[in-house]
């Protein structure tokens, strides 16, 4: 794991460990605290200790390629989890479909306000998912930009998936475009929390549409209270199960029967499993977040 910098990663870790253990695996777990060299060293130690499969959430999508090279020296297969690893002969990639996530974010906001001035606060520059989210968002916005119905007033990738980055970028947006700003799409919920702070300071909290992803508890509460428009619930249970089953089959040299798509990492076409997510808004919290067990009604209503 890269880190536990927000609560969804703890859920990912729990689901992965539970599924792998139930399928008969011995699980070794290390957390790199967002230090790529530390993660490479942890991977090397695991390889030296005889692991059969590595599941990696990379910190830097390019530098993490060294992990794949080290693993392949000992015939260890590597599954990139949630984040693609670039520029190396990566074996497999399992993730939420970030292009689809970007599409459903844009579609939902446009269903509420089909015309207007929109801004995109992108995720971290070092994460391939940021570019994929942008592709999804732009596939929806581009035709409306060409027709003149939508004006994209701001679009930049961030330095990190953080509240501080969301606040920094949102401050730029509201200072330049406070008049007639329709909506902001953030890379994730942490950035949206920062954007909410900037909107509140500008007297725009709850007045500007705000979308993000991850369905963090604080953001779901904000949606319930009308301060955020929507988020995206990632299928973490399904993604973790697919990853665990793939890892077990690889470790046991069993035939892999999955239906794969492919994603280019600049070196090879990586066999990939991409799972679609779902939008969460004020009207469907019960049937999405609560029904899936992601958060309880008691937690949300506290």
Residue-wise pLDDT tens digits, 57-74: 999 999 999 999 999 999
- Domains of the chain plus CATH, in order, are 7-90+236-275 (3.40.50.2300), 98-233+279-300 (3.40.50.2300)
The mean per-residue pLDDT over the stretch 272-284 comes to 96
Q: What is the DSSP letter of 255?
A: P
Identify the burial level of 87 via C-beta atoms within 10 angstroms of its C-beta, where 0-12 means exposed, 13-18 middle and 19 or more buried: middle
pLDDT band at 193 (very low <50, low <70, confident <90, very high): very high
Q: Where are the alpha helices (DSSP H) in 23-162?
A: 36-48, 65-73, 98-112, 128-147
Give the Cα separation of 198 and 121 in Å (integer).
13
CB 90 within 8 A of CB 260: no
Checking phi first, is residue 34 left (phi over 0); if not, alpha (psi -120 to 50) or beta? left
Predicted confidence at residue 290, as pLDDT, reads: 95
b/e string for 5-14 if b means 16 or more Cβ within 10 A? ebebbebbbe
Task: Name 274's bridge partners.
Answer: 95
pLDDT band at 18 (very low <50, low <70, confident <90, very high): very high
Residue 228 DSSP SS3:
coil
Residue-wise pLDDT tens digits, 83-116: 999 999 999 999 999 999 999 999 999 999 999 9
Residue 118 corresponds to which tokens in the numbers above?
């929109």
Task: Name 120's bridge partners.
Answer: 155, 185
CB 267 within 8 A of CB 88: yes
pLDDT of residue 178 exceeding 80, the answer is no
């Amino acid at each position: 794991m890269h880190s536990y910098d927000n609560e969804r990663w703890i859920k990912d870790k729990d689901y992965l460990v539970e599924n792998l253990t139930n399928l008969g695996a011995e699980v070794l777990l290390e957390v790199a605290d967002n230090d790529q060299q530390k993660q490479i060293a942890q991977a090397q130690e695991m390889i030296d200790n005889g692991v059969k499969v590595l599941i990696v959430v990379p910190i830097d999508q390019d530098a993490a390629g060294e992990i794949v090279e080290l693993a392949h020296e000992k015939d260890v297969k590597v599954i990139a989890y949630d984040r693609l690893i670039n520029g190396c002969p990566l074996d497999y990639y399992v993730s939420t479909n970030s292009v689809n996530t970007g599409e459903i974010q844009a579609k939902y906001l446009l269903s509420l306000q089909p015309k207007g001035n929109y801004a995109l606060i992108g995720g971290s520059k070092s994460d391939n998912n940021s570019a994929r989210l942008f592709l999804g968002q732009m596939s929806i916005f581009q035709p409306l930009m060409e027709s003149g119905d939508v004006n994209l007033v701001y679009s930049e990738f961030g330095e990190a998936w953080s509240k501080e980055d969301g606040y920094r970028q949102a401050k730029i947006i509201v200072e330049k475009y406070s008049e007639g700003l329709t909506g902001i799409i953030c890379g994730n919920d942490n950035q949206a929390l920062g954007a909410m702070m900037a909107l509140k300071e500008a007297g725009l909290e709850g007045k500007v549409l705000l979308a993000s992803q991850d369905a963090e508890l604080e953001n779901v509460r904000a949606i319930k209270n009308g301060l955020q428009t929507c988020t995206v619930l990632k299928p973490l249970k399904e993604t973790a199960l697919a990853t665990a089953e793939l890892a077990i089959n690889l470790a046991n040299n069993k035939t892999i029967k999955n239906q794969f798509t492919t994603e280019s990492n600049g070196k090879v076409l990586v066999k990939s499993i991409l799972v679609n997510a779902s939008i969460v808004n004020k009207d469907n919290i019960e049937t999405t977040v609560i029904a899936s067990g992601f958060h309880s009604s008691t937690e949300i209503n506290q």
